[in-house]
Amino acid sequence: MSNKYFAIKQEYKGLKFASKKELNRYLELEILEKNKYIANLETHPKFDLMVNGIKIGRYTADFRYLDQSGVSIVEDVKSKATKTRDYMLRKKILATYNPPIHIKEIL
C-alpha cells in the first residue's frame, strides 16, 4: 500500500518503513552498526516538541544512532515532496533545544 507521497510501505524483520528509500537507508545503517562504525541504532525515535516549556506536539524521526565519537545523530529520509512546511517547522523547533537536535536529511 502506498501513502500520500506514493511511497510503498515496507516491512523488514518486523520493522515498518514508510518507503523503499527509508528501508534501504536502514539496511546501510545496519551494516555500519555491525561493523562498529555506529552504535545504538534506533528506528522511529520520538521527540516531544516544546516551546516555552509547553509541549505542542511530537516529532518522529526515521533513525537515531551514535557515531564513532559518541555523538547522537538523528536522521530523516526525505524527498522534495516530504520536506513540508510542517516538517521544516518541527526541524527548527528541535534546533532551538539545549543541546540542539539537528536532523541529518538523507536525500
In angstroms, the Cα distances linking 54 to 46, 49, 76, 89 are: 16, 8, 24, 16
What percent of the chain stands above pLDDT 90? 91
Domain map (residue ranges) of the chain: 10-106
Task: State how far the Cα of 96 lies from the Cα of 102, in Å rounded to an integer.
Answer: 9
pLDDT tens for residues 30-64? 999 999 999 999 999 999 999 999 999 999 999 99
Q: What is the pLDDT of residue 6?
A: 74
Q: What is the pLDDT of residue 4?
A: 64
Residue 66 host element (H or E):
strand 63-66
10-106 CATH: 3.40.1350.10
26 phi/psi in degrees, rounded to 5 = -60, -45
pLDDT tens for residues 86-100? 999 999 999 999 999
pTM of the entire structure?
0.90
Using pLDDT thresholds of 50, 70 and 90, give the confidence band for residue 7.
confident
What stretches of the chain show up as alpha helix (H) in DSSP?
20-34, 85-95
